[in-house]
């Protein structure tokens, strides 16, 4: 056996929320060739398989996981010249996402700098189709290599086959697919994306009309750091998705809440700011319930102040969802994957 199976491994320290029980079985993999052996082990035991990356977007139950947890630690970053000013950046699924962004910036490559400081790994970024400050990772994906547990083979998915959507992809909806690596198509041509409100305000205060690649990365880090809690507080980042509604629903809400924050989507629908709704409509920002609470600077962020259980977090999230639905009729969906 080329893999080392452990038993009873605590999962809480492997997640950014810092809650949850232990895994019955646990294994770390560093290459796609090991996945078949892991899958075969799970099938022989007739137990479920959970893929874990950086643990930044998952909530492990207090009872833990009764199957096999496979932590993907496939590393490697390389660059290939493409047509024109484009460069192909090939990244292993286990690489820390912010290190991927830093590596791109150091190579003078534009495209993912607005995604600086997003926690997690490359694999998780692809699965979740992470987005921040007007940019989504799918904007730069050229192809994704994934292992299919049904065929027991790897397959290349072109961007058009990845079924990317708002915080989703085929790798999130099809649990048989395990991301191994991906190619990001980045450019050397300066293309600053500073239209997002927070980014625009930052550079106005800096009196900077032509920010460099490094300037944008520094700005994003400063903005995120000011909004997000730092260790030892546990958090999974934005707990809820921003709700998307029709124009009619938006206009109706605007009559009651004239200051509501909203963004028109390409298909004509309206994306509402869940943070604004939870803060201004429901008053959740800064509320604490025992060991858990809503972060004082960002109402989308749920916080483990220490010693919290997964159930406490779920109870708080349920109350938040219920209060918003009662006041607006809007149903919030969790961005965090709840096992």
Q: Would you state the structure tokens that stand for residue 69, as one six-digit string?
A: 């947890």
> Using DSSP, how many helices (H) and how many strands (E) does the chain show?
9, 20
Q: What is the pLDDT of residue 83?
A: 74
Mean confidence (pLDDT) of the chain: 96
d(CA 66, CA 49): 9
pLDDT band at 237 (very low <50, low <70, confident <90, very high): very high
Residue 305 has pLDDT above 70, yes or no: yes
Residue of 167, 217, 224, 321 with catalytic role? 167
Residue 1 has pLDDT above 90, yes or no: no
Quick: pLDDT tens for 6-18.
999 999 999 999 9
Fold classified for 77-187: 3.30.465
Q: Compute the radius of gyration of the chain from its Cα atoms.
A: 21
Q: Is 259 exposed, middle or buried (0-12, 13-18, 19+ CB in 10 A)?
A: exposed
Residue of 169, 238, 273, 299 with catalytic role? 238
Determine whether domain 6-72 maps to CATH 3.40.190.10: no
Asked if residues 27 and 6 have their Cβ atoms less than 8 Å apart, the reply is yes
Asked if residues 311 and 289 have their Cβ atoms less than 8 Å apart, the reply is no
The H or E element that residue 6 is part of is: strand 6-10
Determine whether domain 234-338 maps to CATH 3.40.50.300: no
Quick: pLDDT tens for 202-215.
999 999 989 999 99
Q: What is the pLDDT of residue 84?
A: 78
Average pLDDT over residues 206-228: 95
To the query of whether residue 167 is one of the catalytic residues in this protein, the response is yes
Q: What is the pLDDT of residue 231?
A: 86
Quick: pLDDT tens for 178-199.
999 999 999 999 989 999 999 9
Asked if residues 301 and 239 have their Cβ atoms less than 8 Å apart, the reply is yes
Give the residues across from 135 on adjacent strands: 132
Q: Would you state the structure tokens that stand for residue 156, as one six-digit string?
A: 């290349």
Q: What is the pLDDT of residue 16?
A: 97
Dihedral sign for Cα 123, 129, 133, 135, please.
positive
Going from N- to C-terminal start, the domains of the chain cover 6-72, 77-187, 234-338
Give the residues across from 10 on adjacent strands: 22
Asked if residues 195 and 110 have their Cβ atoms less than 8 Å apart, the reply is no
To the query of whether residue 238 is one of the catalytic residues in this protein, the response is yes
To the query of whether residue 108 is one of the catalytic residues in this protein, the response is no
Quick: pLDDT tens for 110-129.
999 999 999 999 999 999 99
Quick: pLDDT tens for 50-103.
999 999 999 999 999 999 999 999 999 999 987 778 999 999 999 999 999 999
CB atoms within 10 A of CB 329: 11
Distance of CA 54 to the CA centre of its chain: 10
């Amino acid at each position: 056996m080329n893999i080392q199976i452990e038993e009873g491994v605590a999962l809480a320290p492997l997640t950014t929320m810092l809650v949850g029980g232990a895994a019955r079985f646990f294994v770390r993999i560093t290459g796609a060739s090991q996945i078949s052996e892991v899958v075969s082990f799970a099938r022989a035991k007739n137990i479920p398989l959970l893929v874990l990356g950086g643990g930044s977007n998952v909530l492990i139950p207090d009872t833990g996981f009764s199957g096999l947890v496979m932590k993907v630690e496939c590393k490697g970053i390389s660059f290939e010249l493409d047509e024109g000013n484009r460069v192909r950046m090939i990244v292993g699924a286990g690489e820390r996402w912010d290190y991927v962004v830093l590596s791109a910036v150091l190579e003078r490559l534009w495209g993912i700098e607005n995604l600086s400081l997003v926690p997690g790994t490359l694999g998780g970024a692809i699965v979740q189709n992470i987005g921040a400050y007007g940019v989504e990772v799918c904007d730069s994906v050229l192809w994704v290599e994934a292992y299919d547990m049904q065929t027991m083979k790897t397959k290349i998915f072109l961007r058009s086959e990845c079924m990317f959507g708002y915080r989703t992809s085929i790798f999130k909806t099809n649990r048989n697919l395990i991301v191994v690596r991906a190619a990001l198509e980045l450019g050397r041509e300066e293309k600053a994306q500073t239209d997002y409100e927070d980014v625009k305000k930052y550079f106005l205060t800096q009196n900077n009309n032509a920010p460099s690649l490094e300037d944008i990365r520094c700005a994003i880090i400063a903005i995120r750091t000011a909004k997000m809690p730092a260790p030892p507080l546990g958090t999974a980042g934005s707990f809820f998705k921003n709700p998307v509604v029709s124009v009619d629903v938006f206009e109706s809400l605007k009559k009651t809440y004239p200051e509501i924050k909203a963004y028109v989507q390409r298909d004509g629908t309206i994306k509402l700011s869940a943070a604004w709704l939870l803060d201004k409509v429901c008053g959740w920002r800064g509320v604490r319930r025992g060991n858990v609470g809503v972060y004082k600077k960002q109402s989308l962020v749920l916080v483990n102040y220490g010693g919290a259980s997964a159930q406490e977090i779920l109870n708080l999230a349920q109350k938040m969802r219920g209060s918003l639905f009662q006041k607006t009729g809007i149903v919030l969906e969790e961005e965090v994957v709840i096992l």
